[in-house]
Amino acid sequence: MTTVASFSVEYIQYLSPNGTLTGETIPPIAKDFETIKSLYKTMVMTRVFDAKAISLQRTGKLGTYASSLGHEAVHVGIGSAMKYEDVFAPAYREYGVQFIRGVKMSEVLLYWGGDERGSNFSGPPHDFAWCVPIATQNTHAAGAALSFKLRKQPRCTVSVIGDGGSSKGDFLEAINAASAFKLPMVFVIINNGWAISVPREKQSSGETLAQKGIAGGLPSLQVDGNDLLAVHHEVKKALERARNGEGATVIEAITYRLGDHTTADDASRYRPDEEVENAKRFEPVLRLRQYLMDNNQWSVQQENKLMEDCAIKVEAAVKEYQSASKLPVSDMFDYMFAELPHDLQEQRAFALALEEENS
Amino acid sequence: MANIAMVEAVSLALSHELEHDKDVVILGEDVGINGGVFRATSGLAQKFGENRVIDTPLAEAMIAGMTVGLATQGMKPVAEAQFLGFIFPMFEQIVCHAARMRNRTRGRLTCPLVIRAPFGGGIHAPEHHSESIESMFAHTPGIRVVIPSSPSRAYGLLLAAIRDPDPVLFLEPKRIYRLVKEEVVNDGEELPLDMCFELREGNDITLVTWGSMVKETLEAADALAKQDISAEVIDVATVSPIDHDTIAESVKKTGRCVIIQEAPKHCSVGSEIAATLAENSLYSLMAPVKRVAGYDVIMPLFKLEKKYMPTVGRILKAVNEVMEVS
């Protein structure tokens, strides 16, 4: 027998759950405290926003909402590693990435409030909107990456799926295409342990999800998704490789979904409380705060001030969301095509006349 | 200027756009050096290089998804689905993303893409190679469905489809790919989408059709002329959205209508045309509208496919029934 190929999957963690640096390798960001503080603030803001969005839904002021609780490090880590000209292809809960890229909190609320204007957001105009059909955004990201390669632009795409998404053909077809075309892109699998009620071990008996990338011919690794330093550093490295023409990377970020799948879900039906309680010991925000405090970079006063700031900003976002202008009925017709075909013009006129009649 | 067949006209239009618009790229399975299984992209990879005419891995959902991704970033991809019967893995990307991207983002991202697919029966092909499923896509808001029926219309409509700022499904009736040749001037002149083409003027009955059935319908019109029945023949061409006005105008003149399609009858483009005539043109009609269609069965393998497809005889039978109503 001859071994024709052999593989291994690395696991990268720089910041341990108790906030101390692990191992000998220390990434540059670990000593860039100004950047870390700024990212920490975004992580906290994301969490405060998330709690507010859930309470808006509970009080009937928002539609179904997908919480990002527990994903703050992986989201902010991805967002901070990307450049503006790169393209982000989200699933539907990666607000931390999007806030860093300029999407407004009020726009996220608009989207979950049933208003398409939320997807015409203030983030980079080339970024994809939220993508509900699982993993289908992976091939969009591959297509965008191919456009950069063909046009010789130094840009990359990053697409995000969950552990459930890694079971889909769209993901596997996209990593295969990224490998075949050597595309400038990064795939992140945010493995939060649960695809609604189905646990990670039921998605695949493979030891890692990252190894699916290896099958496609891509360098693939695992990172601690609750470690901002690891996510930021590894995504940045993968983006640099992509930008240098060295192709795509698959990163499986291990985190935990501390909340329900969405506000329409009740995780207590299928998930023991003890598991959630245990996962809180590894959660990302506390860990980073501890690291900052241990390095005398953060104080209780600063924390209190940050919480006040976040509350004010989130309240302002809610106000902005709630004061959005009423959608005219014509809006559902006006973005179907560049020019409205004849039959739709008739239907639009009918709908407007009906509104007039009923008002 | 040489006479060319419809498949060559497709190739000519692709070549024209590759030459004149640097954002146009072609992608699909076997579209490169092999020039496509029907040779619709013959010679293009050699002429424009493999960065413009791109052979992809064999994964239809990926081809459609990457086409969406390319289009959102300002390119004008023209993807080939090798046969319409293999488009189902692409279905999600077409319906859930290509058709919705502009609306989803209020126009921030758009999808100026074309997906071409040869379709229809009559060439003795294996299973999944012969179906006519245009109505599945015609039912989907946000995409255009265009079906050429001659070399010149294939050339002009494909140019228009590629230049259109929204997604177009361009279905090529492969039975007539090489049936007739005509002169096509490679002048880059497009033909209008969303419009019917009147192929033959007549006063007694309107025959509405598209795609490969244009052939049988024109033959039926010739036969009817010998019976002193003057048939107007309309090629719908864009089956979504449908140019109902032209059809209604014709029916106003003739008072009778038969719709001919290769696709199954149930919930079809023909059903939509008939329903619209019932809604808007009832008082122009002197007889019920009739549909001559494929049966509502699984497209048979080729031993029976000729029995499935509407024939000139079936068209004449329907026309004579409609003409008998006074």
Give the total number of structural domains in chain B: 2
Q: How far apart are CA A169 and CA A174, in angstroms?
A: 8
Q: Of chain A residues 114-173, which have a CB less than 8 A from chain B?
A: 116-117, 119-121, 125-126, 128-129, 131, 133, 136, 138-148, 150, 157, 169-170, 173
Q: Which chain A residues contact residue B51 at CB under 8 A? A: 150
Q: How far apart are CA B171 and CA B148, in angstroms?
A: 7
**CA dist A59 → A53, B148, B250 (Å):** 10, 54, 57
**Of B128, B154, B183, which residue sits at a domain end?**
B183
B69 to A176: CB separation less than 8 angstroms, yes or no = no
Nearest to B51 among A126, A133, A150 (CB): A150
A226 φ, ψ (degrees, to nearest 5): -100, 5
Q: Which chain A residues contact residue B75 at CB under 8 A? A: 147, 150
Kindly report, residue by residue over B25-34, the tens digit of the pLDDT.
Answer: 999 999 999 9
**CA dist B98 → A11, B77, B143 (Å):** 37, 12, 8
Q: Under a CB-based contact definition with an 8 Å cutoff, are residues A223 and A11 in contact?
A: yes
Upstream peptide bond of B241 is cis (omega within 30 degrees of 0): yes
Name the residue type at position A24.
Answer: E
Element (H, E) at A200: helix A200-203
Enter the tokens of residue B44.
């293009």
What's the pLDDT score for residue B1? 63
**CA dist A30 → A25, A26, A224, A295, B104 (Å):** 10, 6, 15, 11, 39
A116 to B105: CB separation less than 8 angstroms, yes or no = yes
Name B171's bridge partners: B117
Residues B175 and B215 in one domain: no
Residues B89 and B232 in one domain: no
Q: How far apart are CA A225 and CA A283, in angstroms?
A: 9
Quick one: what percent of chain A has pLDDT higher than 70? 100
Enter the tokens of residue B169.
């499904």
A272 in B contact zone (CB under 8 Å): no
Burial of B112 (0-12, 13-18, 19+ CB in 10 A): buried
In a domain, B191, yes or no: no
Nearest to B105 among A120, A173, A180 (CB): A120
Indicate the DSSP class of residue B98: I
Nearest to B25 among A131, A139, A150 (CB): A150
Q: Is A286 left (phi over 0), alpha (psi -120 to 50) or beta?
A: alpha
Smallest CA–CA distance, residue B111 to chain A, in Å, is 10
A120 to B110: CB separation less than 8 angstroms, yes or no = no
What angle, rounded to 10 degrees, do the helices at B60-72 and A169-181 form? 70
What's the pLDDT score for residue B125? 92
Residues B167 and B212 in one domain: no
Q: Using alpha carbons, select from A333, A89, A91 the residue that is nearest to residue B103.
A: A333
Smallest CA–CA distance, residue A295 to chain B, in Å, is 44
Angle subtended at Cα B125 by Cα B148 and Cα B240, rounded to the nearest 5 degrees:
30
B245 in A contact zone (CB under 8 Å): yes
A182 in B contact zone (CB under 8 Å): no
Residues B152 and B202 in one domain: no
B66 in A contact zone (CB under 8 Å): yes
Q: Of chain B residues 182-241, which have a CB less than 8 A from chain A?
A: 194, 241
Which 3 state secondary structure label does DSSP give A135?
coil
B68 to A336: CB separation less than 8 angstroms, yes or no = no
Element (H, E) at A352: helix A342-358
Residues B137 and B271 in one domain: no
Computed over every residue of chain B, the mean pLDDT equals 97
Residues B148 and B171 in one domain: yes
| Length in residues, chain A | 359
Expressed in angstroms, the distance from the first to the final Cα of chain A is: 80
B298 in A contact zone (CB under 8 Å): no
Indicate the DSSP class of residue B123: S
What's the pLDDT score for residue B59? 98
Residues B138 and B19 in one domain: yes
**pTM score:** 0.97
Nearest to A143 among B70, B103, B165 (CB): B70
A&B contacts, CB < 8 Å: 133
In a domain, B282, yes or no: yes
| Length in residues, chain B | 326
A150 to B106: CB separation less than 8 angstroms, yes or no = no
Smallest CA–CA distance, residue A169 to chain B, in Å, is 8
As separate numbers, helices (DSSP H) first and strands (DSSP E) second, chain B gives: 12, 14
Kindly report, residue by residue over B141-195, the tens digit of the pLDDT.
Answer: 999 999 999 999 999 999 999 999 999 999 999 999 999 999 999 999 999 999 9
Q: Under a CB-based contact definition with an 8 Å cutoff, are residues B192 and B161 in contact?
A: no
What's the pLDDT score for residue B61? 98
Place of tokens 């995409």: B143
Enter the tokens of residue B320.
């004579």
B92 in A contact zone (CB under 8 Å): yes
Nearest to A119 among B59, B69, B104 (CB): B104
Q: How far apart are CA A5 and CA A126, in angstroms?
A: 39
Instruction: Give the up-direction half-sphere exposure of residue B154: CA atoms within 13 A in the CB hemisphere.
Output: 32
Enter the tokens of residue B239.
């089956």
Q: Which parts of chain A sit beneath pLDDT 70?
A: none
pLDDT of B223 strictly over 70: yes
In a domain, B190, yes or no: no
Locate the chain B residue with the closest alpha carbon to A135: B65
In a domain, B192, yes or no: no
B77 to A344: CB separation less than 8 angstroms, yes or no = no
Enter the tokens of residue B227.
């019976």
Smallest CA–CA distance, residue A305 to chain B, in Å, is 36
Q: How far apart are CA A282 and CA A193, in angstroms?
A: 13
Q: Using alpha carbons, select from A211, A169, A142, A238 the residue that is nearest to residue B56.
A: A142
Q: Which of A257, A287, A289, A348 is catalytic?
A: A257
Enter the tokens of residue B312.
């000139």
Q: Under a CB-based contact definition with an 8 Å cutoff, are residues B169 and B152 in contact?
A: no
What's the pLDDT score for residue B326? 80
> Sheet of B114-119: strands edge to edge?
B53-55, B24-28, B76-80, B114-119, B168-173, B144-146, B238-240
Kindly report, residue by residue over B276-320, the tens digit of the pLDDT.
Answer: 999 999 999 999 999 999 999 999 999 999 999 999 999 999 999
Which 3 state secondary structure label does DSSP give A151?
coil
A103 in B contact zone (CB under 8 Å): no
Residues B154 and B18 in one domain: yes
Place of tokens 């027998």: A1
As separate numbers, helices (DSSP H) first and strands (DSSP E) second, chain A gives: 14, 8
Nearest to B57 among A141, A144, A177 (CB): A177
Residues B158 and B279 in one domain: no
Residues B179 and B241 in one domain: no
Residues B145 and B178 in one domain: yes
Residue B225's domain comprises: 197-324
B75 in A contact zone (CB under 8 Å): yes
Which 3 state secondary structure label does DSSP give B318?
helix
Residues B136 and B10 in one domain: yes
CATH of the domain at B50: 3.40.50.970
Q: Just give the CATH number of A10-327.
A: 3.40.50.970
A341 in B contact zone (CB under 8 Å): yes
What's the pLDDT score for residue A238? 98
B56 in A contact zone (CB under 8 Å): yes
